Chains A and B, each alone.
Chain A
């Protein structure tokens, strides 16, 4: 189960190029964090603006968010374990397996989240009901969209591992995917602590 690192012509500059890409991607993530921060601020401004509609206390329950948290936490662990394999740069199939498990957890998370949002829509508590619900849907939805994009990226990386093999560039992309995924988990912690838990408190 081992393949050799494939590269047509390893450039001497490649390591520094990859370091540049990782720094650049980190800057992008920081910019993305600011987007989330502003959505949190927006939620903070809108939280009381229920306009006679249902409030957080009436709508939010804890069972599903707890399951979602557990799934996302597990996916963070599996992503971490996968990183051990791409960093050693030799084993391909176990890496795909652990990445696959990460995606399965992410998929479970998304399924639960969509169910929850559908449930709200059925109760006539969609995003066009009030300022509070607009802010809630957009904050949670933006995080969900990020998870969804992360999963598409993960799937694509599995394809790339199969078609192109694990070379330094692919490993660096996986590294960036890992940072992205872990930061999404951090954002989720804040969502849980700022939206769901205070919202579900009597």
Chain B
């Protein structure tokens, strides 16, 4: 009945772990108590948990990302603190726990911070940018959300019951096989990843179909905002690369539970094939993470330079070329495996080739800045820091693409520095920029600028202090994932890196304060026009936050940057005639995706602990949910044309009042003018 579950699963193997578990548990209890105390359960269920609206789903994804990021940052801090002191002594984190720390840090950051952050932003913005009312599959979208949430829940669960994997975020066998990792840790890792990959695949399909089928009239492919383009390419990568991760991890699961021999040492297993499959996904994943950030930067740089993007076409082609080439470079993650020179040379050259389209993009952004009227708002600060810092990381990447050099620094701190240099100033800064840029669209008020700047400088300075020393340490021969060491010359640099991590943590703290301050000052920071940045794309033509149907009348687009063009021509904010309004349908709220999420959490839990009866029950329950859904009709509600018309008329009157003596149809450019 209880499978592998016993009292020993309780987290009593270390003071820090017990403390963390108690902390998590009390946070959960406090949240539940708060919701019960304020009687918010009904509200939460009706407005959020059952919502199929892309706007709500996007916000919930970003909340998941921030919660999980807090955990991953604290873990990073612990590791940096440990390495700062652990010269010739075991420090304060024991080896087993240290290994869990770097495994969860990587897993959480990739799968439950960056991926949900990206998915959340895309959800929030994509339909608005292409003039659509929702995603193509709103119900499936909610299923994706709750699958991600249940995967994140599984990682949190590993803190309360049992342990997490010690095999790193990439989980190489044979170490992660049953012989060397008999516990539940690797199983937690496998099933959390499985839930996350199903969720991501469904999202990818949803995004791509939305972009193909739901563009408003006139929005041709060469008029799409760049964020939409990068989302499309990222979705293609998701659809075709994630199967590889699923195959790698599920074959590993079969090795572990059914005693098969794909990646074992004996009986014909071939562990290098796992590495091959893992990076066949892993390298496209890098671009799945970075392309949407490129999209955000393209939007931000164009808006805050008050210019149309330089070289739009070349940016699009570069994105598409990157998408294709990213499937041809995966071996550079394991040059040291021992391939023959021709194999290593091929993949080394392809890796250098893929740097070319990325370079094209950098130049396009720089030329967009050139002679622009630049406003140094927080999103733009992130974008500028990105251009400088990302080039640095890219250059270290081209170094790593040279097999002989890679042999020298493989698995050293140099590598750690390199990929953090891509993922923090690349993806994470992109997400921060997007979060700040679209925050008013999501909530109706801007984020506080002062605390935002402090947060930005915390991240930037902290990043340089934390990771530049790691380049040096790598060249000095320090391997990654060290719990303690005996080289005194490493310690000063590790102390600097520790200080950097602390500054990053302070930056994140500033962002938390920023959020609280902004909520308290929401009246002063309110975005009444819906266009707080004098921006260029469709999402800024509608109110902030948008009505649940987004566009009362689906817009008709005849050029790139449609809103900027309308403002320039004095055609902004047209009020359509009454006859142009039509009744519309929107999906009704539905509780089944949430139920599916809960069931899949327990399915994952059952698979980790070998509770086969629970696994069967949850599978049957999930099938029941799908069957139930296929019989549901009337899953849409109707909003009448009259309602829409009245809404638009009222908004138009408000805008008129805000514009005062200025011409409304030229937009609110005077509000954002450069001083």
Contact = CB atoms under 8 A, between A and B. Distances in A.
Contacts of B268: 46, 49-51, 53, 130-132, 134
Nearest to B241: A34
A49 B260 CA distance: 13
Contacts of A20: 136-137, 209, 213-214
Nearest to A44: B273
Interface in A10-35: 11, 13, 16, 19-21, 23-24, 27-28, 30-32, 34-35
Given A131-B268, A138-B251, A160-B631, A38 B262 contact: no
B630 A34 contact: no
A56 interface: no
Contacts of A49: 268-270
A134 B260 contact: yes
Interface in B52-111: none
A42 B248 CA distance: 10
A134 B240 contact: no
Given A42-B273, A131-B269, A156-B627, A34 B633 contact: no
A170 B239 CA distance: 26
A164 interface: yes
A34 B261 contact: no
Interface in B224-253: 239-240, 242-244, 246-247, 251
B244 A31 contact: no
Given A34-B244, A42-B251, A130-B268, A24 B206 contact: yes
Interface string A121-161: 00000011111101101100000000000000000100010
B267 A31 contact: no
A45 B243 contact: no
Given A34-B243, A34-B244, A45 B633 contact: no
A45 B258 contact: no
A173 interface: yes
B239 A23 contact: no
Contact of B261 (A9, A32, A45, A51): A51
Interface string B204-234: 0110110011100000000000000000000
A101 interface: no
A21 to B, nearest CB: 7
Nearest to B254: A138
The 10 A-B pairs at the shortest CB distance, nearest first, are namely A131-B268, A49-B268, A51-B268, A134-B260, A34-B243, A128-B259, A35-B243, A130-B268, A51-B267, A38-B247
B243 A31 contact: yes
B262 A134 contact: yes
Nearest to A25: B205
B246 A35 contact: yes
A131 B261 contact: yes
Contacts of B136: 20, 24
A129 B267 contact: yes
Contacts of A131: 261-262, 264, 267-270
Contact of A42 (B213, B247, B266): B247
Nearest to B244: A38
B585 A13 contact: yes
A8 interface: yes
Contacts of A50: 268
B270 A46 contact: yes
Given A8-B634, A24-B140, 11 more contacts: A20-B137, A21-B137, A35-B246, A35-B247, A38-B280, A42-B262, A42-B277, A128-B267, A130-B268, A131-B264, A138-B262
Contact of B205 (A28, A156, A164, A173): A28
Contacts of B269: 49, 131
B174 to A, nearest CB: 13
A138 B260 contact: yes
A137 B255 CA distance: 13
B213 A38 contact: no
A45 B270 contact: yes
Given A24-B209, A173-B630, A38 B137 contact: no
Contacts, number: 110
A127 B262 CA distance: 10
B205 A24 contact: yes
B50 interface: no
Nearest to B260: A134
B201 interface: yes
Contacts of A9: 634
Contacts of B244: 34, 38
Interface residues of B, number: 42
A50 B585 CA distance: 59
Interface of A is mostly: helix
Given A20-B136, A46-B268, A31 B247 contact: no
Nearest to B137: A24
Interface in B128-178: 136-137, 140
A202 to B, nearest CB: 22
A8 B633 CA distance: 8
B636 interface: yes
B209 A23 contact: yes
Nearest to B263: A131
A127 B258 contact: yes
B137 A31 contact: no
21 contacts: A8-B634, A19-B213, A20-B137, A23-B212, A23-B213, A24-B140, A24-B209, A32-B243, A34-B244, A38-B280, A42-B273, A42-B277, A49-B269, A51-B261, A127-B254, A128-B258, A128-B260, A131-B262, A134-B255, A134-B261, A160-B630
A42 B243 CA distance: 13
A177 B258 CA distance: 31
Contacts of A138: 251, 254, 260, 262
A49 B265 CA distance: 12
Contacts of B254: 127, 134, 138
Residue from A31, A130, A156 whose CB has the most chain B CB atoms within 10 Å: A31
Interface string A104-127: 000000000000000000000001
Contact of A45 (B240, B242, B264, B273): B273
Contacts of A192: none
A141 B214 CA distance: 38
Contacts of A183: none
B212 to A, nearest CB: 7
Contacts of B266: 51
A184 B519 CA distance: 54
A156 B213 CA distance: 29
B240 A30 contact: yes
B282 to A, nearest CB: 14
A39 interface: yes
Contacts of A45: 270, 273
Contacts of A129: 267
B267 A130 contact: yes
A2 to B, nearest CB: 22
A30 B247 contact: no
B248 to A, nearest CB: 8
Nearest to B214: A20
Nearest to A135: B262
Contacts of A16: 213
Contacts of B206: 24
A20 B212 CA distance: 9
A39 B213 contact: no
A92 B262 CA distance: 47
Contacts of A164: 631
A45 B634 CA distance: 51
A24 to B, nearest CB: 5
